[in-house]
Amino acid sequence: MSANEFLPWVRRAVAPQAAAEKPTPLDATQEITDRPQDLQRRTLIQLLGLGGLVIAFGPGGLRRLEAAELAAGIAADPWSPHVYVRVAEDGIVTIVCHRSEMGQGIRTTMPMIIADEMEADWARCRVEQAVGDPKYGSQNTDGSTSIRDFLQKYREAGATTRTLLETAAARDWDVGAADVFARQHEVVHRPTGRTKSFGALVNTARTVAMPAPTSVRIKRPDERRWQGKKMPSIDLVPMTTGTAVYGADLTLPGMKFAAIARPPVWGGKALTVDDTEARKVPGVERIVRIPETPIPGAFLPLGGVAVIAKNTWAAFRGRDALKVTWDAGQNGSHDSKTYKAVLEASIRAPGKPGRTNGDVAATLAAAKRKVSAEYHVPYLSHAQMEPMAAIARVQDGKVEAWAPTQSPNDARNTIAEYLKVDKANVTVNVTLLGGAFGRKSKPDFICEAAYLARETGAPVRVQWSREDDMRHSYYHAVAAHRFEAALDDAGKVTAWLHRSAYPSISATFAPNLAGPTPDELTNGASDVPWDVPNMSVEVCPAVAHARIGWYRSVNAIHHGFAIGSFVDELAHAAGKDPAAFLLELIGADRKVDLSKGGLVSAGDTYYGAPWADHPLDTARARRVVESVLQRSGWGTRLPRGRGRGIAIHRSFLSYVAMVVEVEVSPDGMVRVPRATVAVDAGYVANPDRAKSQMEGALIMGMSNTLYSAITFAEGKVQQSNYSDYGVTRMRASPHVVDVHVVESEGLPGGIGEPGVPPSGAAIANAIFAATGVRVRELPVGRQLDGWEVMASDKGRAVAG
């Protein structure tokens, strides 16, 4: 919903008049009554999901805006000093959040930064969810970029607004700008103590010229009120009381519901469709063919056969009654067992170098002690709690969609491409996301809704089931890794050879790719912080046979597991404590510009920033390792069947170290009583959310390591639901997760993703410490059955 549509809508709602043409929550009363209390609650729930001014922050916590407050706030058009900021004459500050909320807290952290720099009163701030629009900059809530890429922009937005208000007050009082300062939603005249509220300054501020960037002062650390401090999530109460609005919670008048039978194999298509029985299902109204998209397909729908019905139950029953003959296409023979052998053969031959230092081949050839190992990680599904759902309406050549999307502007552009309409005629509204992990940055499901809305001439909600989600996703890549290392007489690593093979994400966008490029190794593989004179990190061919997409932490997941596990193997081969060995491998404190340090095809930037801004800083790596050692009880004795493992990984410009303590029962079940995490992500705007992200990352890492796997047979995904795609259950969650966030004023790194990569290796290394069983293939599953018989006393007597 655009800003131009929003204000008239609020005026109608406050009137009170029926606003039946706008979306309402599915469980809300459809008829708008004239009872003020009912009207307020219903309208506010609508606004929560669709960009309205719904949440007030005060000393007592969150509260809902009353209708009278809404009416007062729209008496005049607000002043808009910045694309993220509006200030009304009554002093209400609206902060537009351009990133999507999926539990990470961006709808709290981003407004908090701007309000802090403004000197706004938090109790008089409101949050509005942005629609997809390039004016906001990148809206792709992905890659741990919201603060990393926008911290300075958020600060500048708030500080610029503050400067304009201060200038307006100085003009009103006819005093010098140096004599005034903003403080808690007003501007103060320093010599006399008189004040003017922000609202009272709006009309004058409209006439003030935008200040030169050099005249805008960002707050010093000691001046910040909320930045870098604990701040409760503004969405916590709605999310925990059932009033938060997600994609499937909305409905439109006359809306139809759709379930789609999609090709079970990537690149397949429907040959014949018998819909006789489907049409007999009560509530089914229409059957619509959706054209299949040729490989690679990018973000476009897979195609298939849609059943349009009066409700989701009828749509799913009708879909189940379809009789479709499918042509599997070129990927119909894809099989996980066979493909594993293909990947293993690939990593046993030289690949394309991503980093080269010294002479690895010669050093390995001359080495007295060599260690080698191979590791395998399966395909993974995002398996987020909320399956995909999207609503779309097409009227008079304009398309409007509502969806839990991570990237509304990408969705807008893709809908325009798919329906062949001008993107100026496409509006994408963002609801809350019930989990995403990268899956909801792909708008194929939104395009499905838009296509069906156009074909049926009515609003349509496309609802995916859990089975749809599991079998038709963009999967995290299956991967194989091979390592060879040389150890000198002192147990120091003198050569490091690392080869990996996995289907590239780029294969989803470009046809006929033979595998990933060396650039894809710069997520914790070619940029390892090791002090090794001879190093070769290579990428090997791997053709994609399924849709590959980014998943929380992307390639760093299998990089982190394989690298961290091999380091532990090297420690034991050298006869050293794994933690001491790890610190020795990191070596002396140094900063390395990797673009000049052996990387191949490094390019000009690293994670979108100049290489010189983010050198490989081994002091930061050492700091997080030492932190977890001090806090975890590393080295203290544990009972039989318990062990600790340690790992570190650098990804998304952040350094995360982890010590995980496991308990392995005689039947091979793995539990995690305790984990210790230290993260150096540069400046952290909201430490409380950062700690939560690390806790969640560990639990997700447990799923990836212990339970989860997607497998293929005859090109089809074999898993369907949580019954056969394992994830960490509440009863298996860690008892204690101790997270230490390193305080820093350095450039911000990522937070949402860097906690996942070290978890896999830390867990696997802890399992070895507890049982003597080395895990080289994920998931662990039943590999530990009978471990007490297999494990020797020597295998169990390891560090921790």
Q: Give the model confidence (pLDDT) of 473-520 as tens digits.
A: 999 999 999 999 999 999 999 999 999 999 999 999 999 899 999 989
Q: Which pLDDT does position 151 carry in this prediction?
A: 97
Q: Which pLDDT does position 608 carry in this prediction?
A: 74
pLDDT band at residue 799, thresholds of 50, 70 and 90? very low
In a domain, 152, yes or no: yes
pLDDT band at residue 57, thresholds of 50, 70 and 90? very low
- In this predicted structure, the answer to whether residue 335 has a pLDDT above a threshold of 50 is yes
Q: Give the model confidence (pLDDT) of 584-597 as tens digits.
A: 999 999 999 888 87
Across residues 38-42, what is the average pLDDT? 32
423 and 550: one domain? no
The helix/strand/coil state of 698 is helix
Residues in the chain: 800
Q: What is the dihedral of CA 692, 695, 701, 702, to 10 degrees?
A: -140
**What sign does the dihedral 416-421-422-427 (CA atoms) show?**
negative
Domain C-terminal end among 463, 495, 513: 463
565 and 637: one domain? yes
In a domain, 542, yes or no: yes
Across residues 76-97, what is the average pLDDT? 96
> Cα separation of 74 and 679, whole Å?
44
Across residues 288-295, what is the average pLDDT? 97
- In this predicted structure, the answer to whether residue 42 has a pLDDT above a threshold of 90 is no
- In this predicted structure, the answer to whether residue 39 has a pLDDT above a threshold of 80 is no
For 146-208, the DSSP string reads HHHHHHHHHHHHHHHHHHHHHHHHHHHHT--GGGEEEETTEEEETTT--EEEHHHHHHHHTTS
Give the residue among 565, 553, 571 at the shortest CA–CA distance from 660: 565
Q: Which pLDDT does position 635 carry in this prediction?
A: 96
Asked whether 530 and 586 are in contact (CB, 8 A), the reply is yes
CB-based contacts of 66, cutoff 8 Å, min separation 6 = 40
172 and 49: one domain? yes
The tally of domains found in the chain comes to 3
602 and 728: one domain? yes
567 and 691: one domain? yes
**Which position has the token pair 């070290």?**
758
Q: Give the model confidence (pLDDT) of 729-768 as tens digits.
A: 998 999 999 999 999 999 999 999 999 999 999 999 999 9
282 and 214: one domain? no
> Cα separation of 8 and 1, whole Å?
11
- In this predicted structure, the answer to whether residue 788 has a pLDDT above a threshold of 90 is no
177 and 108: one domain? yes
In a domain, 469, yes or no: no
> Cα separation of 336 and 711, whole Å?
6
Q: Give the model confidence (pLDDT) of 192-230 as tens digits.
A: 999 999 999 999 999 999 999 999 999 999 999 999 998
Q: Which pLDDT does position 602 carry in this prediction?
A: 63
In a domain, 248, yes or no: no
> Cα separation of 642 and 325, whole Å?
52
DSSP bridge pairs for 305: 261, 289
Domain C-terminal end among 207, 241, 275: 241
In a domain, 4, yes or no: no
Instruction: Report the 10 Å Cβ neighbour count for 615.
Output: 17
What residue spans of 191-331 are helical by DSSP H? 198-205, 236-241, 276-280, 312-321
b/e per residue 137-158 (b: at least 16 CB within 10 A): ebbbbbbbbbbbbbbeebbbbb
Across residues 676-682, what is the average pLDDT? 98
**Which position has the token pair 């009082």?**
173
In a domain, 374, yes or no: yes
Across residues 324-336, what is the average pLDDT? 98
365 and 404: one domain? no
CB-based contacts of 623, cutoff 8 Å, min separation 6 = 655, 678, 680, 742
Domain C-terminal end among 463, 491, 524: 463
Instruction: Report the 10 Å Cβ neighbour count for 274.
Output: 11
pLDDT band at residue 609, thresholds of 50, 70 and 90? confident
pLDDT band at residue 600, thresholds of 50, 70 and 90? confident
Asked whether 708 and 381 are in contact (CB, 8 A), the reply is yes
Across residues 12-18, what is the average pLDDT? 32
In a domain, 597, yes or no: yes
> Cα separation of 35 and 29, whole Å?
12
For 102-156, the DSSP string reads SSS-HHHHHHHHHHHHHT--GGGEEEEEPPS-GGG------TT-HHHHHHHHHHH
Q: What is the mean pLDDT of the chain?
A: 90
297 and 358: one domain? no
Task: Show the 3-state SS of 351-380.
Answer: CEEEEEECCHHHHHHHCCEEEEEEEEECEE
Q: Which pLDDT does position 628 carry in this prediction?
A: 98
Across residues 148-152, what is the average pLDDT? 96
Asked whether 447 and 299 are in contact (CB, 8 A), the reply is yes
Domain span including residue 277: 256-330+388-463
- In this predicted structure, the answer to whether residue 32 has a pLDDT above a threshold of 50 is no
Q: Which pLDDT does position 75 carry in this prediction?
A: 52
658 and 744: one domain? yes
The CATH number of residue 413's host domain is 3.30.365.10
362 and 398: one domain? no
pLDDT band at residue 73, thresholds of 50, 70 and 90? very low
> Cα separation of 510 and 491, whole Å?
45
> Cα separation of 582 and 190, whole Å?
56
Q: Which pLDDT does position 597 carry in this prediction?
A: 79
182 and 326: one domain? no
